[in-house]
Amino acid sequence: MSGHLGDLSSDQLQALNELKAHVGTEYPTDEATLLRFLRARSFKVEAAKKQYINQCKWRKENDVDNILNQPPPLDKEMMAIISLGYHKHDRDGRPVYVELTGKIDANKLMELPLSEIMKRHIWHNEKQLRRAEELSKQFGKNIETTTQIHDMTGLNFSHRKCLSIFKHVSKIDQDVYPERVGRVIFVNVPWLFPLLWKIASPLLDPNTREKFVVLGGNEIHKLLDYVEPENLPEIFGGVCKCPGGCMHIVPGHLDSKSADSHGLIQTNIKAGKSLLQEIHCTKGETVYWHYIAASTDIKFRVLWQPEKASQPESIIPLEHVTLESAEGHFAATANGKLIIEFDNSTSTWLSKGIKYRINVDHGS
């Protein structure tokens, strides 16, 4: 049983009735709300009761019920940093929020006071829930979750510092907005995304992580599996053209030049030569690489040589590169040396251009 209204097992129904009796008239609410807290706590009544009552007290102390009567905090500052939009609904009727997350200026964001950023996030949550209520009336069914779409084009290492904000946001969402995530979709994820996700994902409840969808640059069309074309902005592969624009766009955020090429080392490999990069690793470290080749005549391979081994072993066999941006990673299970090779040895006369970047995550 899903634990939603109309789909309850006998044990889940009993837990709901117990929780209703516990909260009584002091903290009245509807059954759908109580079920959200029960699902968040695996239908453990005491844990759900504690979380629900704490949430009620928090809302009262922070006057959250009236927060939408005021403009969103830091609106001028945020609108200069973040391209975003509250845009229609997905195929399940959930309100959709879209954002060009990879284009956010992390340095400017980190200059803003955390307390005001959190107030703005609360305002954002309440706006989405207000939209969910309106869509519930429109479609004649209970809609209590939301959908987010984050375009990660432009993601870079400066965004790592924003993980401190993500930590606070994820905590408040799990403490006082449980079971509100319907789906979070990342699109155009670059080579760096797995590294940052490795750090961020443990901050999320396992049930919440299951609602995250990751789409690469050539998979953006899959958004149409979740949102109808007429409800999806053109920049996300849809056909919607709202009067005045589907979302707020910060000037420069839609520049055609991809930030994926920023920070790459550019070099030419002479005819008959190879470019070797040796990275000494300790156990637990992960090496990430990203390259853009000007010609498919260049070959690429990755070798791994553990500290005690006499010869390296092949991780990626020697093969021709692609013209598109390519990336990969390797996690060291022991101390050793990773060898990344770009091979132009088959060329007799011509040098070949390559752009590449190699980063090591030390696991901290």
Percent of the chain, pLDDT > 90?
Answer: 70
Question: How would you list the strands of the sheet with 299-306, edge to edge?
Answer: 274-281, 336-343, 299-306, 313-320
Neighbours of 163 (CB within 10 A): 14
Instruction: Give the 3-state secondary structure of 4-33.
Output: ECCECCHHHHHHHHHHHHHHCCCCCCCHHH
Angle at 64 (CA atoms; ends 159, 120), nearest 5 degrees: 20
Count of residues in the chain: 364
pLDDT of residue 258: 44
Find the range with the poorest average confidence among 41-45, 51-55, 285-289: 285-289
Among 82, 87, 145, 78, residue whose Cα is nearest residue 117:
78
- φ and ψ at residue 23, rounded to 5 degrees: -75, -30
pLDDT of residue 286: 87
Domains of the chain: 10-61 (1.10.8), 66-256 (3.40.525.10), 263-361 (2.60.120.680)
For the cut 50, the answer to whether the pLDDT of residue 358 exceeds it is yes
Name which of 109, 126, 99 is nearest 164 in CA terms.
109
Q: What is the pLDDT of residues 149-184, one digit of tens each?
A: 999 988 888 888 899 999 999 999 999 999 999 999
Judge whether 233 and 85 are in contact, CB under 8 Å: yes
283: three-class secondary structure by DSSP: coil
- Where does the chain have alpha helices with state H? 10-23, 31-40, 45-61, 75-79, 106-110, 114-139, 163-176, 193-200, 206-209
Mean pLDDT to the nearest integer, 253-278: 77
In the chain, the amino acid numbered 164 is S
Query: Nearest 5°: CA angle at 178, between 172 and 181?
Result: 100
Mapping DSSP onto H, E and C, the string for 140-192 reads: CCCCCCEEEEEECCCCCHHHHHHHHHHHHHHHHHHHHCCCCEEEEEEECCCCC
Query: How large is the average pLDDT for residues 237-264?
Result: 78
| pLDDT range class, residue 261, cuts 50, 70, 90 | low
Separation between Cα atoms, residue 23 and residue 25, nearest integer Å: 7
- pLDDT band for position 141 (cuts 50, 70, 90): very high
pTM: 0.75
Decide which of 320 and 264 is more confident. 320
pLDDT tens, position by position, 298-311: 999 999 999 989 99
318 within 8 A of 343, measured Cβ to Cβ? yes
